[in-house]
């Protein structure tokens, strides 16, 4: 690294309050620049001299885009998941990639139960009814979590926290992970099973593994066929873990009784829909996009806009770790490296 001139550190997808928070913690000698946009939705000339780039999950940093940033040495993603970054390309080009591995284990796990309880106790339907000043109970009976079988797929930081909470509800827990941790199962009192066994046993399945080529469409038609009739599905991990078409089929077949989804395949489209409501697109386009998302209209499906991470405490932890990752890289001691 050279001294003398100011180095370029760019934050994309940055909210106004984050600027001040980050600026206070930046390493000396770096010029910070902030943009609200995603990398693939802004003119890259504005940042082509960037040396360290920090993004959230909506910047799709593929090889074609990264080739346009010739001075880039490091990417600090403000997320756990790195499926939006071509890490193989980064490794090849010697670009260091750091993530934030543990900011929100409790945060995402708590939200997992927010979705599950919303489904199990029909919280949304109940609320919608009282808003209409209707206080009747017909059709609002839910079910207890106590005694139900929860199947947790992925027992990493988030999955294990989900298990802790589930134990508090006195649920029976089985888990599947391709790297089982026997000491964890003993400590928390749950059982590791095969993927298929978990599917056949569980009343509720919750996904907590990363999206990789091996896990894409993990929940496809074959998996749904093995599940208990009336199973509930929660996904706070990544949309691509579920084959949406297969899920629609499983809902139609009443194999899946309902689903709580914080993440969706083609999440970008949904985000665009939100923008369509307020911005530059016409109503016909909006209707066309909405037609593609039959899921959104189903009463037994709750969809939220990828907010499981989004507590104030978690977001601050993300920013603090991101700055530590950047300072570590600047001091030639990179941390939380994924490439």
Tell me which residues touch ligand NAI (CB under 6 A).
Answer: 80-81, 104, 108, 153-159, 176-179, 208-211, 214-215, 236-238, 262-263, 306, 308-309
Residue of 7, 238, 265, 273 marked catalytic: 238
CA dihedral 322, 212, 230, 245 (to 10 degrees): 110
Query: Which of 156, 328 has the CB closer to ligand NAI?
Result: 156
Residue of 13, 265, 267, 273 marked catalytic: 267
Cβ-closest position to ligand NAI: 156
Query: Which of 190, 309 has the CB closer to ligand NAI?
Result: 309
Query: Which of 250, 263 has the CB closer to ligand NAI?
Result: 263
Query: Which of 50, 115 has the CB closer to ligand NAI?
Result: 115
The pair of structure tokens assigned to 226 is 């093995």
Q: b or e along 236-267 (b: 16 or more beta carbons within 10 Å of the residue's beta carbon)? A: bbbbbbbbbebbebbbeeebbbbbbbbbbbeb
The answer to whether residue 238 is catalytic is yes
Q: Give the nearest distance from C-beta 313 to ligand NAI in angstroms.
A: 13
Query: Which of 80, 120 has the CB closer to ligand NAI?
Result: 80
Residue with tokens 């066994």: 197
Q: Give the nearest distance from C-beta 142 to ligand NAI in angstroms.
A: 24
Q: Give the nearest distance from C-beta 237 to ligand NAI in angstroms.
A: 4
- What is residue 109's three-state secondary structure? helix
Contacts 24+ apart (CB under 8 A), 256-259: 256/224, 256/227, 256/231, 256/232, 257/230, 257/231, 257/232, 257/300, 258/119, 258/232, 258/233, 258/300, 258/301, 258/302, 259/119, 259/232, 259/233, 259/234, 259/235, 259/300, 259/301, 259/302
Q: Give the nearest distance from C-beta 297 to ligand NAI in angstroms.
A: 22
The answer to whether residue 7 is catalytic is no
Q: Give the nearest distance from C-beta 303 to ligand NAI in angstroms.
A: 12
Q: Give the nearest distance from C-beta 191 to ligand NAI in angstroms.
A: 15
**Cα 141 to chain centroid, rounded:** 30
Contacts 24+ apart (CB under 8 A), 20-25: 21/316, 21/319, 22/319, 22/322, 22/323, 25/319, 25/320, 25/323
Query: Which of 127, 178 has the CB closer to ligand NAI?
Result: 178
Residue of 7, 84, 201, 306 marked catalytic: 306
The answer to whether residue 179 is catalytic is no
- Catalogue the active-site residues: 238, 267, 306
């Amino acid at each position: 690294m050279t001294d003398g001139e100011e180095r370029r550190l760019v934050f994309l997808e940055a909210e106004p309050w984050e600027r001040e928070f980050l600026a206070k913690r930046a390493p000396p000698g770096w010029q910070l620049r902030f943009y609200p946009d995603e990398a693939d939705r802004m003119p890259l000339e504005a940042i082509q001299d960037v040396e360290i780039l920090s993004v959230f999950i909506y910047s799709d940093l593929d090889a074609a885009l990264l080739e346009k940033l010739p001075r880039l040495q490091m990417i600090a993603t403000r997320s756990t998941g790195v499926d939006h970054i071509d890490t193989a390309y980064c490794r090849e080009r010697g670009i260091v990639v750091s993530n934030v591995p543990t900011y929100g284990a409790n945060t995402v796990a708590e939200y997992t139960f927010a979705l599950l309880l919303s489904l199990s106790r029909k919280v949304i339907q109940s609320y919608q009814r009282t808003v209409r000043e209707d206080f009747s109970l017909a059709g609002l009976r839910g079910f207890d979590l106590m005694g139900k079988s929860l199947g947790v797929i992925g027992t990493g930081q988030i999955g294990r926290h989900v298990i802790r909470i589930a134990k508090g509800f006195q649920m029976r827990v089985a888990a599947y992970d391709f790297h089982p941790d026997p000491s964890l199962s003993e400590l928390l009192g749950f059982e590791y099973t095969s993927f298929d066994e978990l599917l056949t046993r569980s009343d509720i399945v919750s996904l907590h593994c990363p999206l990789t080529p091996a896990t894409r469409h993990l929940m496809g038609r074959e998996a749904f066929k093995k599940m208990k009739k009336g199973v509930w599905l929660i996904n706070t991990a990544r949309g691509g873990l579920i084959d949406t078409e297969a899920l629609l089929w499983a809902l139609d077949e009443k194999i899946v009784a309902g689903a709580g989804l914080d993440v969706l395949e083609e999440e970008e489209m949904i985000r665009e829909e939100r923008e369509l409501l307020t911005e530059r697109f016409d109503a016909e386009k909006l209707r066309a996009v909405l037609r593609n998302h039959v899921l959104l209209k189903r009463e037994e499906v709750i969809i939220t806009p990828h907010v499981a991470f989004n507590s104030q405490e978690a977001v601050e932890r993300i920013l603090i770790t991101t700055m530590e990752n950047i300072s570590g890289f600047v001091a030639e001691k990179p941390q939380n490296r994924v490439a």
